[in-house]
Amino acid sequence: MSCTQKQNTQENKRMIGTKYEKIAAEYLLSKGYTVRHHNYRSKLGEIDIVAQINGMTVFVEVKYRKTNLYGRPSQAVNYKKQQRIILTAKYYLRQYEKYEVNCRFDVIEILGDAITHIEAAF
């Protein structure tokens, strides 16, 4: 695979990711959440969506797969990925929250056209 092909593949994956993160954000908004940040990035990692509901800060990882041939999308949020999200969330809280807050970590998996919201996934 040439560098150009590799770059195009990465750009396509990013475009697909962005599309489904927007779908997930719309889903959260329809459920009464306020979306505070999309693709929050720090030196420690990235969080797809930072939302809030009923005074709780919710860090959301969005995973999409066309089929479950290789397992459910949520299965891709393994221990290592969870630890990176937790570290990034701590950094976010230090940066944006001036007081102690309740928070949780959710996963929104999109399998084909079906959306499953897993609250307090880890």
For the chain, list the domains and their CATH numbers. Answer: 3-118 (3.40.1350.10)
Residue that has been written with the tokens 């079906």 in this structure? 114
CB-based contact 82:122 (threshold 8 Å): yes
Phi, psi dihedral angles at 105 (to 5 degrees): -120, 115
pLDDT at 7: 56
Average pLDDT per block of 10 residues along the chain, 122 residues long: 57 84 98 97 96 97 95 96 97 87 96 97 96
pLDDT of residue 14: 78
DSSP state of 90: H
pLDDT at 99: 73
Residue type, 87: L
Instruction: Give the phi and the psi of residue 51 in degrees, each rounded to 5.
Output: -125, 175
For residue 36, give every residue at least 6 positions away whose Cβ sits within 8 Å of its Cβ, in sequence order, or none: 50, 51, 52, 57, 96
Specify whether the CB–CB gap between 87 and 95 falls below 8 A.
no
- In this predicted structure, what is the pLDDT of residue 9? 64
